[in-house]
């Protein structure tokens, strides 16, 4: 009971303070267990209304406070949202969707925004048109970015486009992508791991550089399927993983299926590692290292169904130094896709040209050649040893053209080679009888020994 005037005044002051505190609590977003709740900023889900302004206000305020912004389950319609340094957006995986309504930009845009983190969001591009050289998520010159456990679909261009960025993209799902799921341009040690990519119309993953140089991206344990060469071309598109001018890239442990062109294509990509990948149903060269590169390791992969298993080529452009080891390559097909040069070979297991060791591989069911060393005069210091070649038209072919360098062919098992176990070549044309036959012609640049033929 209030007994005097002083108590009455104190009680009135406390009541007023309580009203002020309650009012402020309604006006200022309160932190949830994970961060700021977007609905406290007036963001509303499952409505046809444009949420861009409210979402941007929520993102800006949470970023200023260095707190994650939590988007509860629901569908949020929005135009372009700007991300700044330290922005963290958290959704409920499979339940929080941002649907892009267009407007001339991309869904998320960031520049110089280190420590951006997107997690648990579904990003629906809604087939809206995006500008050239962009993705639904567009990040430029940013370090330590993290995009995890997101779903990205129906993009009118790329899924994620990064320029001069470092960080990690892990556990994301991409589907129905207008061009390429993930593009990294002039990256700096990016990690692309455990993503699932399906139904893209240019490539699966592109690791690109404006000039030849170190990149260091790791592309590890991804699942990539159904990659189309939508724009056409002769190999620029239709690849699961494409490294261009990017040095020291590691491509390992990926499951790749059903590509119009290559599973892994390294173009002028020195010191590339292509190891432990499982590849099936690709229609050109499965594992490729081409043009101006120095150093390629292609090891412990399986290829089941391709026009060409492994190609390490373009000595004429400076392509040299390779180890091709421990691969299983089988069920090759006799024709490449329309768009490649009409005289390009197919039905070949392994092809190398310069400063290369080919050992411990198994090649089976090659309509043309199990293994080829050299193209005309472009052959130098190739060792082919300890391989098993079964059911190839020619087991091992070696260039015997004027100017061709030395090849060692030793201790291989060659079975069921109808045209010959080891034969000399004029480019792709066999020109000699089987060089392993008794009394066969010998060539000074081919060292033959210890091969078993049956």
Consecutive H or E run containing 452: strand 452-453
Q: Is 17 exposed, middle or buried (0-12, 13-18, 19+ CB in 10 A)?
A: exposed
**DSSP 8-class letter at 336:** P
Residue 279 contacts by C-beta under 8 Å, 6 or more apart in sequence?
Answer: 256, 257, 263, 264, 286, 287, 301, 302, 303, 304, 306
Consecutive H or E run containing 54: helix 52-64
Query: Which stretches of the chain score pLDDT less than 70?
Result: 1-34, 339, 341-343
Query: Tokens 């411990």 map to which residue?
Result: 360
Per the DSSP assignment, residues forming a β-bridge with 162 are: 139, 184
* 110 part of a folded domain: no
Determine the Cα–Cα distance for residues 302 and 309; give it in Å rounded to an integer: 9
pTM, rounded to two decimals: 0.91
CA of residue 162 relative to chain centroid, distance: 13
| Residue 70 CB neighbour total at 10 angstroms | 24
Number of domains in the chain: 1
pLDDT score, position 234: 86
Burial profile 221-234: b = 16 or more Cβ within 10 angstroms, e = fewer: bbbbbbbbbeeeeb
Locate 187 and state its tokens.
Answer: 């990256």
Determine the Cα–Cα distance for residues 380 and 59; give it in Å rounded to an integer: 59
pLDDT score, position 160: 98
* 251 part of a folded domain: yes
Locate 106 and state its tokens.
Answer: 């991309």
pLDDT score, position 2: 43
Phi, psi of 398 (to 5 degrees): -130, 135
* 309 part of a folded domain: yes
Q: What is the DSSP string of 117-158?
A: EEES-EEE-TT----TT-EEEEEES-SSEEEES-EEEEESSE
pLDDT score, position 15: 45
Question: Whose CA is closest to 140, among 120, 118, 167, 104?
Answer: 167
Query: Tokens 């490539």 map to which residue?
Result: 203
Task: Measure CA of the first residue to CA of the last residue in the chain; give whole Å.
Answer: 109
Q: Which domain CATH number covers 403?
A: 2.160.20
Determine the Cα–Cα distance for residues 89 and 325; give it in Å rounded to an integer: 44
pLDDT score, position 26: 42
pLDDT score, position 233: 87
* 378 part of a folded domain: yes
pLDDT score, position 427: 95
Tell me the residue ranges of DSSP E strands in 300-361. Answer: 302-306, 308-312, 320-325, 328-332, 348-352, 354-359
Q: Which domain holds residue 419?
A: 119-453
* 237 part of a folded domain: yes
Per the DSSP assignment, residues forming a β-bridge with 323 are: 297, 357
Determine the Cα–Cα distance for residues 415 and 196; give it in Å rounded to an integer: 39
Burial profile 122-137: b = 16 or more Cβ within 10 angstroms, e = fewer: bbbbbebebeeebbbb
Determine the Cα–Cα distance for residues 309 and 233; give it in Å rounded to an integer: 20
* 350 part of a folded domain: yes
Determine the Cα–Cα distance for residues 182 and 172; give it in Å rounded to an integer: 11
pLDDT digits (tens, 9 = 90+) for 202-212: 999 999 999 99
Phi, psi of 91 (to 5 degrees): -120, 180
pLDDT digits (tens, 9 = 90+) for 18-69: 433 333 334 444 445 568 999 999 999 999 999 999 999 999 999 999 999 9
Determine the Cα–Cα distance for residues 161 and 209; give it in Å rounded to an integer: 13
Residues of the chain with pLDDT > 90: what percent?
A: 89
Burial profile 345-356: b = 16 or more Cβ within 10 angstroms, e = fewer: bbbbbbbbbbbb
* 223 part of a folded domain: yes
* 94 part of a folded domain: no
């Amino acid at each position: 009971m209030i007994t005097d005037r002083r108590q009455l005044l104190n009680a009135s002051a406390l009541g007023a303070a309580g009203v002020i505190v309650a009012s402020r609590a309604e006006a200022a977003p309160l932190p949830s267990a994970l961060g700021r709740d977007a609905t406290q900023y007036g963001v509303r889900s499952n409505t046809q209304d444009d949420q861009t302004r409210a979402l941007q206000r929520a993102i800006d305020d949470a970023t200023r406070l260095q707190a994650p912004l939590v988007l509860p389950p629901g569908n949020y319609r929005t135009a372009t949202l700007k991300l700044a340094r330290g922005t963290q957006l958290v959704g409920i995986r499979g339940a929080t969707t941002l649907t892009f309504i267009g407007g001339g930009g991309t869904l998320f845009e960031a520049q110089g925004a280190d420590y951006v983190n997107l997690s648990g969001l579904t990003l629906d591009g809604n087939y809206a048109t995006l500008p050239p050289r962009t993705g639904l998520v567009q990040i430029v010159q940013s370090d330590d970015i993290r995009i995890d456990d997101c779903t990205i679909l129906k993009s009118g261009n790329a899924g994620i486009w990064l320029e001069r960025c470092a960080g990690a993209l892990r556990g994301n799902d991409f589907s129905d992508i207008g061009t390429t799921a993930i593009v990294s341009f002039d990256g700096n040690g990016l990690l692309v791991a455990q993503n699932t990519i399906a139904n893209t119309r240019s490539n699966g993953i592109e690791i690109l550089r404006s000039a030849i140089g170190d990149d260091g991206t790791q592309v590890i344990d991804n699942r990539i399927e159904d990659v189309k060469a939508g724009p056409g071309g002769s190999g620029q598109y239709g690849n699961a993983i494409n490294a261009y001018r990017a040095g020291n890239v590691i491509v390992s442990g990926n499951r790749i299926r059903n590509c119009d062109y290559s599973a892994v294509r390294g173009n002028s990509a020195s010191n590339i590692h292509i190891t432990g990948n499982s590849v099936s149903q690709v229609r050109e060269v499965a594992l490729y290292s081409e043009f101006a590169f120095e150093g390629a390791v292609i090891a412990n992969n399986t290829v089941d169904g391709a026009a060409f298993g492994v190609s390490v080529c373009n000595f004429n452009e400076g392509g040299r130094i390779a180890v091709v080891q421990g691969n299983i390559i089988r069920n090759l097909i006799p024709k490449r896709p329309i768009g490649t040069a009409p005289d390009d070979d197919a039905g070949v297991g392994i092809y190398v040209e310069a400063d290369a060791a080919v050992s411990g591989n198994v090649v089976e069911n090659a309509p043309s050649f199990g293994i080829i060393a050299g193209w005309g005069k472009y052959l130098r210091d190739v060792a082919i040893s300890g391989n098993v070649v079964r059911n190839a038209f020619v087991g091992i072919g070696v260039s015997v053209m004027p100017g061709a360098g030395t090849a060692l062919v030793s201790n291989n098992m060659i079975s069921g080679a109808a045209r010959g176990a080891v034969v000399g070549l004029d480019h792709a044309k066999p020109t000699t009888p089987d060089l392993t036959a008794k009394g066969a012609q010998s060539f000074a640049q081919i060292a033959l020994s210890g091969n078993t033929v049956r």
